[in-house]
Chain A
Amino acid sequence: MIFLRDAKFTYESGVEALKGVTLVIDEGEYLAVVGGNGSGKTTLAKHLNGLLRPTGGQVLVMGVQASTRTVAELARIVGYVFQNPDHQLFCRTVYDEVSFGPANIGLEEQEVRRRADRAIEVMNLSDVRERPPLSLTLGLRRRVSIASVIAMEPQVLVLDEPTTGLDAREADELMVIIRKLNDEGTTIVLITHEMKLVAEHANRVVVMMDGRIVLDSDTRGAFSDLGLLKRSKLLPPPVTQLAHRLSQIGVSNDILTPQELVFELTRGDDP
């Protein structure tokens, strides 16, 4: 679906943010891109929809060179939700906001309406449909910004730190919706440094450090090497740390959720 081959990117200031990244993202994946601040994860994500063009190497989206397509063309395939919803909300009502993207890609009015309605329903925004988006709480504003991107019905959805500033409940609700989108077939690329989200949701983890991918594995594998995570300025979720401490008494060190740990501890010794 998306293929990066030895992609390099250097900012005008001379900062080398990507030093040769090779990555294949398949259809239907739930991929988490993790790494400390400045590791290059956002730069990587901005290559997926053409906001940034690689200064070396290639980015292919659906088999086509991304550099030959405009951002508007790529936006139909790859949706990108920015970290700060306030950087994009400007309409009078949530409905107007959500229909902005579909209208931009030149759909018929009826189709715009259908997609906006669907996005509003998926993101549970029906109650605030006619409210001004800027007056909503941060949790709702974040959901409006995601709705406004999924209304374009992209096959890939890139989310940059979607839970920043949300309380536990808002974050949980949001992650459940994203999970559902993935189940329905949308490829999810989650950029985050919150390892609890990664452990509970992603199927695959890409760890970035200093503009390079230092680990690309399934989620379980990513949490077995605590040293690597630490070097990448990441903190695994408490339950995984506990499991590592308990490994002397036979607990496996790739525990991701409390349920797994409970199961591991109560199942007894015989297999």
Chain B
Amino acid sequence: MTGFLDMYSEKDTFLHRLDPRVKLLAVVLISVLAFILAELLYLVVLLCFILLLLVLARSSYGKAFFALKFVIRFMILITMLWPLFDRSGTPILFSVGPLDITEPAVWRGATSAVRVGCFATVWYILMFTTSQRDLVRALVKLGLRFDYGLALAISFRFIPTFGLTIESIKDAQRARALELDKGSILRRSRNYVSILVPTIVYALRTADTLALTLQSRAYGAFSSRTYLREIRMRASDYIALTVVVLILLLPALAKYIYGVQI
């Protein structure tokens, strides 16, 4: 379960150095672009561009494979299912019983699959190259209240710890001959109480301790706080920002102002 949480890896690439706000904006704009583009060819180009970024982010093969596995499965599923539900257009490629598989539907399915692929993969780049700390910092800088930012950071931080504790609780109850997947539904749900109660107690105790720890480190003592590491836009960040905006703006202009089919 930690697979999705420890995607960030410490590297030194331009994507890692980029201001997290610019990255966040870039990801949003590229996602929008994936919805503006309608032609399969251009979407494939966009997907290749995103994959290129993924390579440039020098993400480890293991993590990239883990992440892309889900995307690829999803893309295959869309390509296969789309023609089954969309029966418009001609020519009919072949018929299976009452089902007519038409050529335009197959293309539409593939287009949607690639679009979803772009949309999902681009967010992975953000997760691969931005530490949770930086992400929260960017959100706070963009106007999120610090309290919420901190709460977000803490919940990210505690998910793996929680996972480990729940595993330990499960083991402790299994050592008392608890069999979670045996018996009637009633029995099973009662069995889960023996996991749930220690988990909740642990969560409450942790929250209590955490609150004391924060207070003892003067959290909330002043309404305005300073930050150890300020994020500041550098020249390269502005360049990247311009490039990203153009990447969205040019195709959007071409499509909506000049009516180019893309």
Residues of A within 8 A of B (CB): 46, 49, 51, 70-72, 75-76, 79-82, 84, 86-90, 100-101, 104-105, 134, 148-149, 152
Contact = CB atoms under 8 A, between A and B. Distances in A.
Interface of B: 165, 168-169, 171-179, 193-194, 196-198, 201-202, 205
B179 A87 contact: no
A123 to B, nearest CB: 15
B201 A88 contact: no
B177 A82 contact: no
Contacts of B196: 90
Contact of A104 (B168, B176, B197, B201): B176
A46 B171 contact: yes
Given A86-B198, A90-B193, A72 B174 contact: yes
B202 A149 contact: no
A101 B191 CA distance: 12
A243 to B, nearest CB: 38
A82 B175 contact: yes
Nearest to A75: B177
Given A84-B168, A87-B169, 13 more contacts: A51-B171, A51-B175, A71-B175, A72-B179, A75-B177, A76-B177, A87-B165, A87-B202, A88-B176, A89-B201, A90-B194, A100-B178, A101-B176
B201 A49 contact: no
A148 B176 CA distance: 8
Contacts of A72: 174, 177-179
Chain B interface, DSSP helix/strand/loop, else mixed: helix
A89 B198 CA distance: 6
A80 B173 CA distance: 10
A87 B177 contact: no
The 10 closest A-B pairs by CB, nearest first: A90-B197, A104-B177, A88-B172, A80-B175, A101-B176, A75-B177, A72-B177, A82-B172, A87-B172, A71-B174
Contacts of B177: 71-72, 75-76, 101, 104-105, 152
B17 to A, nearest CB: 29
A86 to B, nearest CB: 6
Which of A46, A90, A105 has the most chain B CB within a 10 Å cutoff? A90
A131 to B, nearest CB: 16
A86 B198 CA distance: 6
B3 to A, nearest CB: 11
Contacts of B176: 75, 88, 100-101, 104, 148-149, 152
A100 B194 contact: yes
A88 B179 contact: no
Which of B169, B175, B178, B202 has the most chain A CB within a 10 Å cutoff? B175
B58 to A, nearest CB: 21
Contacts of A79: 175
A87 B175 contact: no
